[in-house]
Amino acid sequence: MKIILASPRGFCAGVNMAIESLELSIRLYGTPIYVYHEIVHNKYVVDTFRAKGVVFIDELNEAPEGSHLLYSAHGVSPEVRRIARERRLHTIDATCPLVTKVHLEAVRYAKEGYTIVLIGHEGHDEVIGTMGEAPQAIVLVESPEDVDRLELPTSTKLAYLTQTTLSVDDANRIITRLRERFPQIVNPPKEDICYATQNRQEAVKVLSQEADLVLVLGSQNSSNSQRLAELSQENGVPAYLIDGAADIDLDWFKGDETVLVTAGASAPELVVEDCLEFLRKQFGATVEARMVREEEVYFPLPRELRSLAGAAAAERA
């Protein structure tokens, strides 16, 4: 067996920032620390933090008044922030800056009188937070068929935004249909789908052409990980989305094939290494790392933590 190890893969800058924020919060404030929804959509990461005393909640009344609450990388709506203030929660905002960009665009377009078409997946944490910025002005579409069902006057001021973790190809199909139906529609000067999502999809698109099978490390509720598996399947290469080596089924393999291994933006490198080691032991697999595009993006810690982190470092010194 030959393994092609895709790069870039795994943690993006937003995920790194969110995880570092939660780790630092534990050191500064102790536990329990409360997190609104999952810090990132990855079972291994969530289970690891839960074992350290982190409590993941879906309703703010689950966090005692005055406790520390961290907003996940996916962002939250203004209503969530309002309730958190009422409950006197000490909040730490670990929203990915690229998600914050979409929120700010939604606010701007709504203030300017636009109806906003948001391209995304219903129920995803990021979509819920973005729609909460201007609920009366935003309509959600998930497919070109949804675009066809839109009933809007031709004179409507229209803008579109996208969830940051979409398939680039899927989003482009929807955008093309939007432009066909509504030529007046406008969009932000810089696209919303994040660099890491695009780079990981590009790597799968390029490298899966050499593979018989693709393994994507990531959880089922991870949108960007799901898109990687779907992209491979659309290219005619079987793909499996797995949380780790324990999910691998030996019946997937003959033992002499070429396997592409990649990871979604919320999957830690540790689960990738475990997977590679499993395949080495089972099939004597050799690993060839392949770089499609370099990434050097870094996001700073939330402002709520920066000064405290500096003070803590100075005290240790």
Q: Taking residues 37-66, what's their average pLDDT?
A: 97
User: In whole angstroms, what is the distance from residue 117 CA to residue 278 CA?
Assistant: 45
Residue 312: pLDDT band (50, 70, 90) is: low
Q: Which of 249, 267, 268 is nearest to 259 (CA)?
A: 249
User: In whole angstroms, what is the distance from residue 317 CA to residue 303 CA?
Assistant: 22
Residue 221 CA, chain-centre distance (Å), reads 10
Asked if 200 and 231 count as a contact pair (C-beta separation under 8 A), the reply is no
Residue 311: pLDDT band (50, 70, 90) is: low
Phi, psi of 137 (to 5 degrees): -110, -5
Q: Model's pTM, two decimal places? A: 0.91
User: In whole angstroms, what is the distance from residue 261 CA to residue 9 CA?
Assistant: 9
Domains of the chain by start residue, with CATH: 2-11+195-291 (3.40.1010.20), 13-95+299-316 (3.40.50.11270), 98-181 (3.40.1010.20)
User: In whole angstroms, what is the distance from residue 6 CA to residue 244 CA?
Assistant: 16
Residue 38: pLDDT band (50, 70, 90) is: very high
Segment 249-285, tens digit of pLDDT = 999 999 999 999 999 999 999 999 999 999 999 999 9
Residue 306: pLDDT band (50, 70, 90) is: confident
Q: Which of 157, 155, 133, 131 is nearest to 142 (CA)?
A: 131
Q: Which residues are catalytic?
A: 126
- CB 28: neighbour CB atoms within 10 A? 15
Residue 308: pLDDT band (50, 70, 90) is: confident
Residue 317 pLDDT more than 80?
Answer: no
Segment 193-242, tens digit of pLDDT = 999 999 999 999 999 999 999 999 999 999 999 999 999 999 999 999 99
Q: Which of 242, 134, 211, 121 is nearest to 171 (CA)?
A: 121
Residue 57 pLDDT more than 90?
Answer: yes
Q: What is the pLDDT of residue 307?
A: 76
Is the alpha carbon torsion for 62, 126, 236, 260 positive or negative? negative
